[in-house]
Amino acid sequence: MKAAQFEHHEPTTVDEAVSLLESLDEPTILAGGQSLVPMLRFRLARPDTVVDINGIDSLDYLHEDNGYLKMGALARHADVEDSEVVADHYGSLADAAPLIADPQIRNRGTVVGSMAQADPKGDWGSVLLAHDGEVVARGPAGERTIPADQLFLLPYDTSLGEDELITEARVPAPVDGEGSAYHKLKRKTGDYAMAGVAARVVLDDDRRIEEAGIGMTAVDITNARAPEAEDHLVGERPSADLFEEAGELAAEASNPESDEHGDAAYKERMVDVLTQRALGDAVERAGVVKRRVTQ
Ligand SMILES: Cc1cc2nc3c(=O)[nH]c(=O)nc-3n(C[C@H](O)[C@H](O)[C@H](O)COP(=O)(O)OP(=O)(O)OC[C@H]3O[C@@H](n4cnc5c(N)ncnc54)[C@H](O)[C@@H]3O)c2cc1C
């Protein structure tokens, strides 16, 4: 099936895009098109106007700046996969990027588009939740920052206003003793997650866990945190027993549905296992990542 007819706008600046979003009737933003274009083709989305942001060069960046790893709205999954700074210092992002879909989709799809799509099976949402990440939104009233844990409301629904554009997704740069990891279970290459878990820990000088973040994929109506598991880890020394307890708490916090890929009990068990694995890798990496001064 072909997409229904729509008007196509190609702004070259963020200001231009925002004024189009304000003036047009129910416009839809097009970034990588890897979620939107299939919806257009199957006529699950029938927008009258599409605002294509691919010509806004100022949104095409991925770099560390002012204490954050910043990914502009045109940073593709493949940019994260290819980034040296990510490979060296952001374990969970380095793990997640090559596990997303297939190379074609990773070359076009964007991290920000994935956040805006708010698919509970999306991987970036969990990673940003585990890192206390946020997105930056621009609208007619100016710029605001939305913490990742306030972005996702329902499947495919966010707290973003209709006339707002996400310009950036970002995570805090790692501090001394920080490590992170992402583990994902999928049936085969190219598939979405059956379950996924991102974990981030910060160890203090005494090797106790000072901070912990856990984000879960595909096991609730949105990407979700596991707050009881996070709290349970803080103040404790990493151990296999502790990770087992955290895994059980994360599984209890999850709320998966049975489907053709597996029943809910199996997915809960997978959350338990993936949490333990992600925590193990995060702690191992916590000894390697050093505080870095970012400009
Ligand atoms: C076969 C297949 C497998 C996939 N597997 C995975 C997977 O394993 N893991 C995973 O995480 N994802 C997966 N995806 C989704 C893919 O990662 C998409 O790239 C991503 O969800 C959306 O990014 P995009 O840049 O393509 O956004 P688009 O498709 O262009 O847009 C998606 C939605 O976000 C909105 N939007 C886009 N950019 C902005 C912005 N800057 N501000 C506000 N709204 C915006 C659009 O209006 C639209 O509603 C898969 C997709 C396909 C087709």
Q: Which of 122, 153, 172 is the last residue of a domain?
A: 172
Same-domain check for residues 192 and 145:
no
166 Cβ below 6 A of ligand 1: yes
198 Cβ below 6 A of ligand 1: no
With the most atoms of ligand 1 within 8 angstroms of its CB, the residue from 8, 93, 105 to mutate is 105
32 Cβ below 6 A of ligand 1: yes
Same-domain check for residues 32 and 73:
no
Q: CB count, 10 Å around CB of 155?
A: 13
**Pairwise CA distance, residues 71 & 161, whole Å:** 20
Same-domain check for residues 67 and 160:
yes
Q: Please report the DSSP string for 69-81 in residue order.
A: EEEETT-BHHHHH
Q: Which of 172, 194, 215 is the last residue of a domain?
A: 172
pTM score of the predicted model: 0.96
Note the pLDDT tens digit of each residue in 100-134: 999 999 999 999 999 999 999 999 999 999 999 99
Structural domain includes residue 251: yes
How many structural domains comprise the chain?
3
109 Cβ below 6 A of ligand 1: yes
Same-domain check for residues 156 and 223:
no
Give the residue from 202, 281, 212 showing the smallest Cα distance to 250. 212
Same-domain check for residues 92 and 164:
yes
Instruction: Please report, for the chain, how many H helices and E strands are present, in that order.
Output: 11, 14
Note the pLDDT tens digit of each residue in 160-214: 999 999 999 999 999 999 999 999 999 888 899 999 999 999 999 999 999 999 9
Note the pLDDT tens digit of each residue in 45-85: 889 999 999 999 999 999 999 999 999 999 999 999 999 99
**Pairwise CA distance, residues 35 & 218, whole Å:** 16
Same-domain check for residues 122 and 222:
no
